[in-house]
Chain A
Amino acid sequence: MSWETVIGLEVHVQLATRTKIFSGASTAFGAEPNSQACLIDMAMPGTLPVVNHEAIRNAVRFGLAIGAKINQRSVFERKNYFYPDLPKGYQTTQLEAPIVGAGEVEIRLEDGSTRTVRIHHAHLEEDAGKSLHEDFHGMTGIDLNRAGTPLIEIVTEPDMRTAEEAVAFARKLHALVTSIGICDGDMSQGSMRFDVNVSVRKSGDPLGTRTETKNLNSFRFMEKAIALEIRRQIDLLEDGGTVQQETRLYNGDSNTARAMRTKEDANDYRYFPCPDLLPVEITEDDIEALRASLPELPDARRDRFTRDFGLPDYDAEIISASRDMSDYFEQAAEHAGDAKLAANWMLGEMSARLNAEEIGIGKSPVSAAHLGQLIQRIKDGTISSKIAKQVFDACWQGNGSPDEIIEREGLKQVSDTGELEKIVDGIIADNAEQVAAFKAADEKKQKKMFGFFVGQAMKATQGKANPQQINQLLQKKLQD
């Protein structure tokens, strides 16, 4: 009997609020260590937390986006443990009464099939600071800038069966939280972090013992870490061993993982309601106002893109996953007057360039209006697709709009039949040998040889010849 994998996720999503969850200090990333830690973040004696209502609204927005029950009364609790980057000696989080109750997220796999992942709950909590182990000669530095950054922790049911499903879910979550604007989605800065619970069992058996691999901060690492852990557990069990319940740490550079702590060293966190904070009360009206303020969600957008623009499912799925991509797409499609071409360019040339430079579409030097203009010029025959790539490059370099570039660099397609005819005649005259061979060849061979003549024509016009016209002219003259 074959092995079945069971995967559940805990996802930490950093909320894009201007200030921290319990203090007025800034949440901006990358500042000098401890320059964004106020008295509260440093847990100075006598300081008290005051909740940031924007963080609460963001959590509710998330709940509404996944169709979850919003708990109108939620409670902050203290999770007590000692760690140098945890200044109060406890983390303020939610346990018994989280703000977001059960919900669902639908994921679509590459083969087009769908699966529903149930969300157990999502709760609000504060992030810890960071321990810095470099540059301190045997000592540890503490940076509390991140301490108190608002997070929601999203806990799924164990509803995923493959690494692919887990990654599809993670991407979907990324699409959701960025679309509704509660998270910047910047994985490299830790804006989303995944803890992966994995167990294996023989189909039909009860759940096996699970391990938790913590703090995965890219989709690729997540996929690899899961694959590694599945392999490890199956190997262990097939060799007659048992899986220990433990927390594991994955190293992306070496694609290895190690046990960090076992169940036996687990802390007793001594949760209890935080007496410094009142329960969070949300009215029905607040919820409805937030519901009304939600933008179009990725699934709805995807369906609209396939329905209204005729995009293939795959293209629609990718573009709708990002609000920036979607906005860009809709503008480019309008300027171009051709949605499919706009999507092709975005997912082809544009994505390649963005990936190479590791930037998002929001920072693309080619604006949606420019891409639209470029596509128009292809459609109206001003330039060929091949020249279009050259124009795109120039536009990316900041050399102006496609029209300016075409004009300045003289890239207009040669469509004048008289001029093209002269060129074709010249080629036939200069290549008498090839023309003779062509004429002697059978139809199959002729097809192969035809390209040579087209190439010559393009060379003679520096690629600007209208390919269709050239084809027609050559066909005619060579058959004569």
Chain B
Amino acid sequence: MIDLTLTELKDALARGDFSARELTAAYLQRIREHNGTLNAYITVTEEQALAAADASDARRARGEAGLLEGLPVAHKDIFCTRDVRTSCGSLMLDTFNAPYDATVVARMADAGAIMLGKTNMDEFAMGSSNETSYYGPVRNPWDTARVPGGSSGGAAAAVAGRLAPAATGTDTGGSIRQPAALCGVTGLKPTYGRVSRWGMIAFASSLDQAGPMAHTAADCALLLQAMAGHDDKDSTCVNEPVTDYCAALSGDISGLTIGLPEEFFPDDLDGRIADATQAVVRVLEQRGARVAKVSLPSVALSVPAYYVIAPAEASSNLSRFDGVRYGHRCDDPADLMDLYKRSRSEGFGEEVKRRILVGTYALSHGYYDAYYLRAQKVRRLIRDDFKRAFEQCDVLLGPTSPELAFALGSKKDDPVTMYMADVFTIAVNLAGLPALSMPAGFIDGLPVGVQLIGNYFDEGRLLNVAHSYQQETEWHRQAPALGGTA
């Protein structure tokens, strides 16, 4: 049963092929066998999962099945989960049991989903390889010597390795799409404000957005249906009616115009990735889509603008981790300054400290205009670029990542090269647009992902285009050989 998609599992549960308890037990077994290798989970909530599965079976027996009834999911450890450790991949929160559930967690539970555990991630979602986690790196199920991408690397590896049929992720600069691409799963970053950020530990508030990760676009549609919608607790969560995403999956894309931004196909792009991307375009053309060339000239500035704005917001967001109320506190502080300095020096890892310093610098007196304000101007230019592009086309398409899964440790000491891993994904966050990554083939046994970018609140169309592609291809059904029971 673990090779079924979420949508298929939903149908099988509805038919009574197996119970939620049997399904949950199968995934827990799978986690026991492979999490030691993959390190995809920080915390496995076995007892709660089985109890929740029993409750779900009882609900179904009473005829009260919700949208995600009995379906196991894994939550990224950035989402607060009541009375369950919520570490954010950091020593700082190693002992932190959240006193409440994030809106995403609560809504999925209300829809009947069963939490298997909390997935590994780059510390405070800062990283593109999952190597900055305090709990050690996650390994790519397709090649355990390679990274799964990040920051939602644990989520991507868990889905790819069949340690969960679906997972939640968050995406600030590509943290859902890039690991989805590197692990061969489908992942959607919704429009900024589509999904509530309440209970999602903030990295860069104006960029962070939660979204689903699963095998197929149809699975993501199902998950987004449960996650999306207005929330009084998040002022930036938009009060816009939620599309019926599942109903949007007609598979019909005739007459659709796909824009290919020239900036997403630079001369130095890995030719194999360019070819795989063009192959996707051909499939979509065969299914009735038209292609247009477009340009997003300001996208070249997105990485530098992002690495001002995101660290600036992070430097402020992470100030609350001061050793006073919760989280890591140093032993025997001599005075208040010592408490702050040592608690934060010990509690945060290198990459987090680097970004706090960068952000503090960017906001400091005399530099604010040159860095932060300038980056905000770039952000407007990028938004305008996309706006113009969407006057000519319905969706944009390009590679998700400029490279395949790289070897563990290969970029650890070169942060700037690491930052370039998000060169195709970051502009989307700066503009607040929805975007999706879907499996588009393999190169040397490693998955390639292709990114689709949509207009604001056009998640339904994005999912339908991916669904149409997945009706035609089998890349999303491939499973890595991890061995063990199936």
Contacts and interface: CB of A to CB of B under 8 A. Distances in A.
A270 B368 CA distance: 8
B324 A142 contact: yes
A270 B316 contact: yes
A42 B325 contact: yes
A277 B316 CA distance: 14
A276 B86 CA distance: 21
Contacts of A84: 322, 324, 336
Nearest to B340: A82
B202 interface: yes
A273 to B, nearest CB: 9
Contact of B233 (A48, A142, A277): A48
Interface string A40-66: 001111111111000000000000000
A88 B235 contact: no
A78 B316 contact: yes
B199 A275 contact: no
Q: Which of A87, A268, A275 has the most CB of B within 10 A?
A: A275
Contacts of A47: 198-199
B235 A51 contact: yes
A471 interface: no
B123 interface: no
B236 A89 contact: no
Contact of A46 (B201, B319, B324, B368): B201
B250 interface: no
Nearest to B208: A275
B32 interface: no
A80 B368 CA distance: 14
Q: Which of B201, B321, B363, B368 has the most CB of A within 10 A?
A: B363
Contacts of B102: 46
B320 interface: yes
A44 B235 contact: no
Contact of A89 (B200, B313, B320): B320
Interface string B67-109: 0000000000001100000101000010010111010000000
B3 to A, nearest CB: 34
Contacts of B322: 82, 84, 89
Contacts, number: 102
Contacts of A42: 325
A88 B368 CA distance: 21
Interface in A275-302: 275-278
B15 interface: no
Interface residues of B, number: 44
A221 interface: no
Contacts of B232: 50
Interface in B299-334: 312-313, 315-316, 318-322, 324-326
A48 B320 contact: no
A270 B68 CA distance: 44
B197 A48 contact: yes
Nearest to B344: A82
B360 interface: yes
B240 interface: no
A46 B372 contact: no
A46 B364 contact: no
A89 B198 contact: no
A89 B360 CA distance: 13
A261 to B, nearest CB: 14
A268 B365 contact: yes
A39 interface: yes
A43 B325 contact: yes
A87 to B, nearest CB: 6
B326 to A, nearest CB: 7
A45 B98 contact: yes
A82 B80 CA distance: 24
A51 B235 CA distance: 8
A142 B336 CA distance: 13
A44 B365 contact: no
Nearest to A84: B324
A80 B319 contact: yes
A272 interface: yes
A393 B418 CA distance: 83
A84 B205 CA distance: 23
B316 to A, nearest CB: 5
B319 A90 contact: yes
A89 B363 CA distance: 15
B324 A268 contact: no
A35 to B, nearest CB: 15
Interface in A243-284: 268, 270-272, 275-278
Contacts of A277: 235-236
A44 B100 contact: yes
B323 to A, nearest CB: 10
A48 B200 CA distance: 9
A45 B319 CA distance: 11
Interface string A129-143: 000000000001010
Contacts of B206: 275
B80 A270 contact: no
Interface in A140-184: 140, 142
Nearest to A85: B324
Q: Which of A47, A51, A142 has the most CB of B within 10 A?
A: A47
B244 interface: no
Contact of A272 (B199, B234, B316): B316
A42 B96 CA distance: 14
A115 B153 CA distance: 67
Contacts of A39: 99-100
Contact of A45 (B201, B205, B360): B201
A164 to B, nearest CB: 37
26 contacts: A43-B320, A44-B99, A45-B96, A46-B102, A46-B197, A47-B199, A50-B234, A50-B235, A51-B235, A80-B316, A80-B319, A82-B340, A84-B324, A87-B320, A89-B316, A89-B319, A89-B322, A268-B364, A271-B363, A271-B368, A272-B316, A275-B204, A276-B205, A276-B236, A277-B235, A277-B236
Interface of B: 79-80, 86, 88, 93, 96, 98-100, 102, 197-202, 204-206, 232-236, 312-313, 315-316, 318-322, 324-326, 336, 340, 360, 363-365, 368, 372
Given A44-B100, A49-B235, 18 more contacts: A39-B99, A43-B320, A46-B80, A46-B198, A46-B199, A46-B200, A47-B199, A48-B198, A50-B234, A80-B319, A82-B340, A89-B316, A89-B319, A89-B320, A140-B336, A142-B324, A268-B365, A275-B206
Interface pairs A-B: 9 shortest CB-CB: A89-B319, A270-B363, A275-B205, A275-B206, A46-B199, A43-B320, A46-B80, A45-B201, A268-B365
